[in-house]
Amino acid sequence: MATFASPIIMLFLGGFFLAMAATKYRLDVNLARVLLKPFGSDPRFVMLGLMLITGIFSMFMSNTATTAMMLSILTPVIAVFGPKDPGRIAFALCIPVAANIGGIGTPIGTPPNAIALKYLVGDNYISFGEWMAFGVPFVVVMMALAWMLINFLYTADQKKIELSIKGKFLKTPKAIMVYITFALTIILWLMGSSHGMNSYTVALIPVAIFSLTGIINKEDLKKISWDVLWLVSGGIALGLALDKTGLARLVVHSIPFDGFSPYVVLFGAAFLCLLMANFMSHTATANLLMPIMAALGTSMTSLTPLGGELTLILVVTFAASLGMSLPISTPPNALAHATGHVQSSQMARVGVILGVVGVMLSFVLVWLLHAVGHIGRCQWNYWFAIIFQSLVVRSLSMPSKLCFVKRRTMTDSIMCWKGSLRDISRATKMASSPNCSMPRKGHSLVYTAFSRVLGWRHQPLLQKLT
């Protein structure tokens, strides 16, 4: 039972409260109505708009709830297409695909993400904002590929459609409270721990506010996906059992992984996860594989140049969410198949291609970010602090204000930029070091830099760090 009080469960519970309040006060539908306006009446761009909105909602809401909502909006649109128009297939298929991909963008978007965070600790720790820093670009690229693929395979004959969504934003006190809490929670999540609270603590803010104000009542609590929370909790307990009993390490050591190329192990694990996720629950797949992947990542030294445990866990996590080739693969797929507009074979054509491409793309993205020190070593805000200090503090030590402002002499300008480049080079080496000694709260470096600017002290900040 202790695992049900895990911070991961609290993170998901906060996400469920946000999603339920947004649906109850029609924030989701009204946002969709506003966001779809710029996409015009061309079927291709209307589809793009629907996919983007579905992807955004699925980052913070249940993929199933998002798909159900968007399919209800889509019903009158599909009626515009003729019985044999491929546009029917395209529009019915784009929603579940976008929901499945969009969930990858945040830690609360889908259960496999939260399960992965349980094993990303210590030097491999990733905050909510950092996850989004690489998850959202991945989602954007995959969404663009999915949009082009669906349009290529199922080009609509209809050249113009009208999308009409009725409604308006509620202005009741409780609705306004929902809007403010929703925005505040997301902003605090994006800020990382710079405000002194971790992502799990922030997740309790909507739980507390909505419970105390009566926005979420006991009837609403019955509608929360408690089965998902129990499934994730059970997976955490399973992972602890595999770790404490040594079974995960035994499984890893029973197979001579060191004899294989690290690329073979990495892609083999990812494609195994992708295959399993197409035939069983994504959450169950992640629960089964993640403890083994964590043990493998720490024991196989040949994986270190590719990012080690961090890269292995993230690529396998992404693969779990990319299993969407069949109606049974995910609830969003089942909902789309139930409309009768898309068949299993049509779904498989898109799902298989996107799954394979997505696994390879996720490896490239994670490896690149790890190689430059964005994840798994020093945090991105360290880089910001160093570059800020280098360009601003050094600039103010010169006769004029900034490096890029016209200087009194060319020599001053050259000296400024040479010093800045030297600091950035040193910061890069420090961030790339396996034993990064820079403090974890990089925002303090920014404050120090500001105080140096205001106090006209020009001693380079790096001298205190090295």
Q: pLDDT (tens digit, 9 = 90+) per residue, 135-175?
A: 888 999 999 999 999 999 988 888 887 666 666 788 888 89
Q: Is this prediction's pTM over 0.95?
A: no
- What is the pLDDT averaged over residues 34-51? 82
Q: How confident is the model at residue 426 (pLDDT cuts 50, 70, 90)?
A: low
- What is the pLDDT averaged over residues 320-340? 84
Q: What is the pLDDT of residue 465?
A: 39
Q: What is the pLDDT of residue 319?
A: 92
Q: pLDDT (tens digit, 9 = 90+) per residue, 390-412?
A: 444 444 444 433 343 333 444 55
Q: Chain centroid to CA 192: how far?
A: 14
Q: Residues of 113-138 as b/e, b for ≥16 C-beta within 10 angstroms?
A: bbbbbbbbeeebebbbbbbbbbbbeb
- What is the pLDDT averaged over residues 192-210? 78
Whether the pLDDT of residue 59 is over 70: the answer is yes
Q: What is the pLDDT of residue 149?
A: 94
Handedness of CA 3, 7, 13, 19 (dihedral sign): negative
Q: What is the pLDDT of residue 18?
A: 81
Contacts of 256 (CB under 8 A, 6+ apart): none
Contact 377, 436 (CB under 8 A): yes
Contacts of 394 (CB under 8 A, 6+ apart): 403, 416, 419, 420, 423, 458, 460
Share of the chain above pLDDT 70, in %: 71
Share of the chain above pLDDT 90, in %: 11
Q: pLDDT (tens digit, 9 = 90+) per residue, 81-107?
A: 888 888 888 988 999 999 999 999 988
Number of Cβ within 10 Å of residue 252's Cβ equals 19
Q: What is the pLDDT of residue 371?
A: 64
Whether the pLDDT of residue 437 is over 50: the answer is no
Expressed in angstroms, the distance from the first to the final Cα of the chain is 46
**Could you give the 3-state DSSP secondary structure of residue 433?**
coil
Q: What is the pLDDT of residue 352?
A: 93
Q: Which residue has the higher pLDDT, 452 or 170?
A: 170
Q: pLDDT (tens digit, 9 = 90+) per residue, 100-134?
A: 999 999 888 888 888 888 888 777 788 787 888 88
Q: Which of 235-244, 363-372, 441-450 has the lowest mean pLDDT?
A: 441-450
For residue 245, report the phi and psi dihedrals to the nearest 5 degrees: -80, -15
CA angle 350, 145, 352 (to 5 degrees): 25
